[in-house]
Amino acid sequence: MTHTLASTLASYLKTIDQLEPQSLGGRQRTLSDQDSQFLRASLMRQQRFNNAMIVVAVVLLCALFALAAFLLLLQRNSVNAVAVISGTTFSAMLGIIAFLRRLWLDKSAMDLLLFACQGLSPSEVANLVTSFYFKATEPRRAVRT
Amino acid sequence: MLVDPVPVSRRVVKPAECVLAFGIPTTRESFERALTVSGTDYAKQFRGGWSQYYALLAKDVENVESPLREEGVTIVHDLTLEGFAALFERPFPAIILFSHWKEDAVEFSDGMASAGAVLAAVPEQFDGILDLCVCHPMALVAALHKQRPGCLVKYLPVEAKPHFWMYFYKALFLHLKQSDVSYLTAIQEVACAFLDTAQAGETLSR
């Protein structure tokens, strides 16, 4: 999960009082459709941003490939130049693909959560998002049982 | 029972003479049990299950427990009402009940206990400090003041976040270890230190 998706979910959890421990005398907040609508609006805003980022990353990937092909043809007689261009291009492409993969995972999670917002009750949405957020953001560790 | 001639309000108290007892779940096993016990309330307020409960509360308990045990504090997990009554058999000068309050009842691992049931668990001759780290237990405090006049009660009239209080008690027991002061003086001094730190933080952030 990227930092931006985590922030989006954290702002929702904050509105439903699930981002901090419950007080030792408090009551659970009652949820309404407005809470689910807030989450839906936040996720859609985040999804639009992520879609734009995917387009930028794909364009960058294509441009990098074209530039590399052009430079390789231009420097085809120099073994050293070909090695440097190939290595640099490969490294840059790996970075972009890793970034795209994270965006794609976020997109899948957001699609699922948006679908849940439509079909589930506010209480069930809150349970789902809270479980997802804490399981996805907490590093794996041995916990006392 | 031997009676100390110095009242507990002025007696020097060391961490080894104190007990910190948790009525709310602190382990995965007790958390999952609390979800099935009817009447318990606190664990059910965490919608994200154990991963959320661990991240927001149990992790802090783990962090604080080891240093407190090293200071000699007796830590009790999964406190039942019966277990709470048993704490008074060994005369600890200070008993801290760390739990949840809902509708005039305190949460124990075996369910909610009414203020009357908690009062009945406190012996009439108890002359130590009962530190109620539960939010606004006013009905219980009033009953203790009236029917257990020897018992000094510390309580929170406002809602409290557990992670704050975990670290407050860590600082309190460190202070009790390092200084020869009474429990009440230590609470006052640590609270003042926390307030000073908070005010300094606010001043810096401006």
B95's enclosing H/E stretch is strand B94-98
Q: Cβ distance B122 to B148 under 8 Å?
A: yes
**Chain B nearest C-alpha distance from A48 (Å):** 27
* DSSP class of B137: -
* Yes or no, beta carbons of A134 and B47 under 8 Å apart: no
Q: Return the minimum-mean-pLDDT range out of A8-22, A34-48, B174-188, B190-204.
A: B190-204
User: Do B96 and B87 touch, CB atoms closer than 8 A?
Assistant: no
Higher per-residue pLDDT: B172 or B136: B172
Tokens, residue B4? 């100390």
| Chain A residues inside the 8 Å CB shell of B27 | 144-145
**Percentage, residues of chain B above pLDDT 70:** 95
Taking 90 as the threshold, does the pLDDT of residue B204 lie above it? no
B73-92 pLDDT tens trace: 999 999 999 999 999 988 78
Verify whether the Cβ–Cβ distance B48 to A134 is below 8 Å.
yes
Distance CA B97, CA B108 (A): 10
Chain A residues in contact with B133 by the CB 8 A cut-off are: 24
All residues of chain A having their beta carbon less than 8 Å from the beta carbon of residue B140 are none
Q: Encode chain A (145 residues) as per-residue pLDDT tens digits.
A: 666 788 899 999 999 989 888 888 767 788 888 999 999 999 999 999 999 999 999 999 999 999 999 999 998 889 999 999 999 999 999 999 999 999 999 899 899 899 888 888 999 999 999 999 998 876 544 444 4
Q: Of A27-31, A131-135, B40-44, B137-141, which gets the smallest average pLDDT?
A: A27-31
Q: Which of A21, A126, A135 sits opposite B162 (nearest CB)?
A: A21
Q: Where are the domains of chain A?
A: 3-9+37-137
Which of the residues A24, A35, A141 would you substitute to probe the B interface, choosing the one with the greatest number of B C-beta atoms within 10 Å?
A24
Rg (CA), chain B: 17
Q: What is the mean pLDDT of residues B142-150?
A: 90
Q: What sign does the CA torsion over B97, B89, B141, B82 have?
A: positive
CB A12 within 8 A of CB A29: no
Higher pLDDT, B203 or A45: A45
**pLDDT value for A25:** 76
- Give the pair of three-digit tokens for residue B70: 């090293």
> How far, in Å, CA of A32 to CA of A40, rounded?
13
Q: Kindly list the residues of chain B whose beta carbon comes within 8 Å of any beta carbon in chain A.
A: 24, 27-29, 42, 44-52, 54-58, 62, 98-102, 133-137, 156, 159-163, 165
Q: Is A142 on the interface with B (CB under 8 A)?
A: no
What is the average per-residue pLDDT within B190-204?
A: 81
The pLDDT score that the predictor gives to residue B3 is 54
Q: For the stretch B14-52, what's the b/e string if a residue is b when 16 or more beta carbons lie within 10 angstroms of its beta carbon? A: bbebbbbbbbbbbbbebbebbeebeebbbbebbbbbbbb
Least CB–CB distance from B42: residue in A16, A20, A22: A22
Residue A40 CB coordination number (10 Å): 18
Type of residue numbered B95 = I
3-state secondary structure chain A: CCHHHHHHHHHHHHHCCCCCCCCCCCCCCCCCHHHHHHHHHHHHHHHHHHHHHHHHHHHHHHHHHHHHHHHHHHCCCCHHHHHHHHHHHHHHHHHHHHHHHHHHHHHHHHHHHHHHHHHCCHHHHHHHHHHHHHHHHCCCCCCCC
CA distances from B153 to B34, B129, B174, B186 (A): 27, 6, 21, 15
Nearest Cα neighbor of A111 from A15, A56, A40 is A40
- Tokens of residue A67, six digits: 């530039």
**So what's the pLDDT on residue B197?**
83
The shortest CB-CB distance from B27 to any of A16, A24, A145 is to A145
Parallel/antiparallel/unpaired status of strands B152-156 and B74-76: unpaired
pLDDT at B134 (0 to 100): 87
For A120, counting Cβ atoms within 10 Å of its Cβ (0-12 exposed, 13-18 middle, 19+ buried), the class is middle
Nearest CA in chain A to B54: A143
Stronger pLDDT, B2 or A73, i.e. the higher one = A73
DSSP string, B155-181: EESS---HHHHHHHHHHHHHHHHHS--
- Its CATH class, for the domain covering B15-205, is alpha beta
Q: Is the dihedral of CA A49, A51, A52, A57 positive or negative?
A: positive
Beta bridge partners of B111: B108
Rounded to an integer, what distance in angstroms lies between the CA atom of residue B26 and that of residue B60?
10
A129, closest residue in chain B (CA to CA): B48
Structure tokens at A53: 């980022």
The mean pLDDT of B91-115, rounded to a whole number, is 90
Q: Is A20 on the interface with B (CB under 8 A)?
A: yes
Q: Which residue in chain B has the smallest CA separation from A128?
A: B48
What ipTM is given for this predicted complex?
A: 0.76
